């Protein structure tokens, strides 16, 4: 006796398969958006890393003896810290100064249209000789044996999030 059933799929099977495909395709499109955002964030972090390296190289060109002396908070010999950047107009170090960059890493003259900001923090340790104490702080005189560390922080301008930080030890005469 022959079976009455023909080969193929029932309507219920086709509908279930269609629902499964719809859910899978919707999930793939959702992941596409997540991947796109992740790629854009990676590009911004990459740009911030390039800016930090440029700032450190610029600091190396000026040399450790040309950094300003930091502030010593307890008026005794110890560590000092200075934060700022190189002025675009005078090519001198400016306390609390900031450099601004666009998304391509080009240096801008102001914060208008900037995507990133960069600041250098110089920390001195070792043989600092403090100047006369005024209001609980003094600036140190840097000796040739003073250890100087430069750290660059690059922030995204839109939300002031630090995207990249890089640093190096600055040594007079190289190594």
pLDDT digits (tens, 9 = 90+) for 56-105: 888 888 777 777 776 666 555 567 777 888 777 777 778 888 999 998 88
Angle at 164 (CA atoms; ends 159, 165), nearest 5 degrees: 120
pTM above 0.85, yes or no: no
pLDDT of residue 141: 63
| Chain position carrying tokens 């450190």 | 56
The CA distance from 62 to 85, in Å, is 12
Angle at 156 (CA atoms; ends 151, 161), nearest 5 degrees: 75
pLDDT of residue 114: 94
Tell me which of 81-90, 103-112, 115-124, 155-164 is least confident. Answer: 81-90
Helix, coil or strand: residue 34:
helix
For residue 15, pLDDT over 70 is answered with yes
| Chain position carrying tokens 């799929």 | 9
CA atoms within a 13 Å half-sphere pointing along the CA-CB vector of 175: 0
């Amino acid at each position: 006796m022959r079976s009455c059933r023909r080969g193929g799929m029932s309507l219920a099977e086709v509908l279930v398969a269609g629902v499964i495909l719809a859910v899978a395709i919707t999930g793939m499109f959702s992941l596409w958006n997540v991947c796109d955002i992740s790629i854009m964030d990676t590009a911004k972090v990459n740009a911030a890393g390039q800016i930090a390296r440029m700032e450190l190289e610029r600091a190396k060109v000026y040399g450790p003896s040309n950094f300003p002396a930091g502030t010593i908070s307890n008026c005794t010999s110890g560590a000092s810290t200075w934060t700022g950047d190189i002025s675009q107009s005078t090519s001198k170090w400016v306390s609390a100064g900031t450099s601004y960059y666009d998304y391509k890493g080009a240096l801008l003259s102001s914060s208008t249209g900037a995507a990133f900001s960069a600041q250098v923090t110089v920390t001195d340790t070792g043989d600092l000789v403090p100047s006369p104490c005024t209001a609980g702080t003094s600036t140190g005189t840097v000796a040739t044996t003073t250890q100087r560390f430069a750290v660059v922080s690059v922030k995204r301008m839109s939300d002031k999030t630090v995207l990249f930080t890089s640093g190096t030890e600055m040594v007079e005469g190289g190594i």
